[in-house]
Structure 1
Amino acid sequence: MSTTDTTGIELRTSRVIRATPEDVWDAYTDAEKQTAWFSILDEEPGVVRIETDLRVGGTQTAVWGPSEDQLFTEVQTFLVIEPPHRLVTDSTGSSPDGQTMTTRIEVTFTAVEGGTRVDVVQTGFPVPELRDFFLTESWPGAFDRIEAYLTR
């Protein structure tokens, strides 16, 4: 059994998405819906493959990139599943150059006026620069894509 270092650097972010918690949950956890929104804002979609076994102990594997020889991979192991309100995973990502990073991600989905507030706490970043990249690029990009998918 592997463990995740949750004592590293922490990220906290949130966004209100104009949809119900159930719809945002489904978009976030369903492999077919993720495949649709993952590259929804890209001019050239590239490669996107996602497989999900949504159960405690199950995994989600996402593979994406501009081409087959430049792929990123993320494997998330589901630790807590409370539809449509809370999801906790250990996430191990690898880049095309072979570097890897494991973090723990907790996502909550709360009904608010105007939609659903999605709160993310991601822990275990080894350096602030990686946390900052996820804070300014990765999570805002995911939120933008999910909202574009749900409001199209």
Structure 2
Amino acid sequence: MTRLLPATPDEVFDAYTDAEKQKIWFSILDEKPGVVEINVDLRVGGTQTAVWGQDADTLFHETQTFLEIDRPHRLVTESTGGGPDGSSMTTRIEVTLTTRIEVTFEAHRDGCLVTIVQSGFPAVEVRDFFSTQVWVGALDRIEAFLTRGARDVR
């Protein structure tokens, strides 16, 4: 999927990878604050761990391992995540979903064109859920962060 965001590639890359900025955009569109815990070790072989949800009983988790970093142009990670019931985020099976994510950040006259390619899904339905729900929501939140900034911190 692709999305044009109203910022430079540097600004978008930083919003996508900086733990403090992620803590803001993860919940920027929520009516009431939930739980957001993020740690980032931005280096090849390093990880980003994120835990989030409405409350302590409904937490999702994701760990991304950085495979390639070409700031601010490209980022490749392997992502493993699951949901509050111990199953994968979308399939409700007793395995954890592991995928590969490639994100590019390209300068455009109107901002930054972000392209996301995620592969390794166990089923078309899971892939479609990520492309129509998960990534749309994440990019909506990043866009809100870029346009509103930190003043929306709750």
Structures share fold, TM-score greater than 0.5: yes
- Map 1:86-105 → 2, pairs under 5 A: 86-99=74-87, 100-105=96-101
In structure 2, the partner of 1:133 is 129
In structure 1, the partner of 2:62 is 74
Unaligned 5+ residue runs, structure 1?
1-12
Residues paired across the two proteins, number: 140
Structure-2 separation of matches of 1:52 and 1:15: 24
Give the aligned residue type for 1:29.
Answer: T
Structure-2 separation of matches of 1:18 and 1:139: 17
Q: Residue 120 of structure 2: SS of its match in structure 1?
A: strand
Q: Residue 72 of structure 2: SS of its match in structure 1?
A: coil
Unaligned 5+ residue runs, structure 2?
88-95, 149-154
2:96 is aligned with 1:118: no
Deviation at 1:51, TM superposition (A): 0.2
Runs of 4+ with >4 A deviation: none
2:27 is aligned with 1:39: yes
Give the aligned residue type for 1:24.
Answer: V
Query: By percentage of residues, which structure has more strand?
Result: 1
CA-based RMSD: 0.6
Structure-2 separation of matches of 1:102 and 1:45: 28
Structure-2 separation of matches of 1:113 and 1:66: 37
In structure 2, the partner of 1:83 is 71
> What is the TM-score normalised by the length of structure 1?
0.91
Structure-2 separation of matches of 1:96 and 1:41: 21
2:102 is aligned with 1:106: yes
Give % identity. Answer: 67
2:11 is aligned with 1:23: yes
- Per-residue CA deviations over 1:13-67 (Å, capped at 9, x if unaligned) read 0100010000000000000000011110010221000000000000000000111
Q: Residue 42 of structure 1: SS of its match in structure 2?
A: coil
Q: Residue 122 of structure 1: SS of its match in structure 2?
A: strand
Structure-1 separation of matches of 2:115 and 2:86: 30
In structure 1, the partner of 2:93 is none
Structure-2 separation of matches of 1:69 and 1:149: 26
In structure 2, the partner of 1:143 is 139
Deviation at 1:141, TM superposition (A): 0.6
Structure-2 separation of matches of 1:137 and 1:28: 17
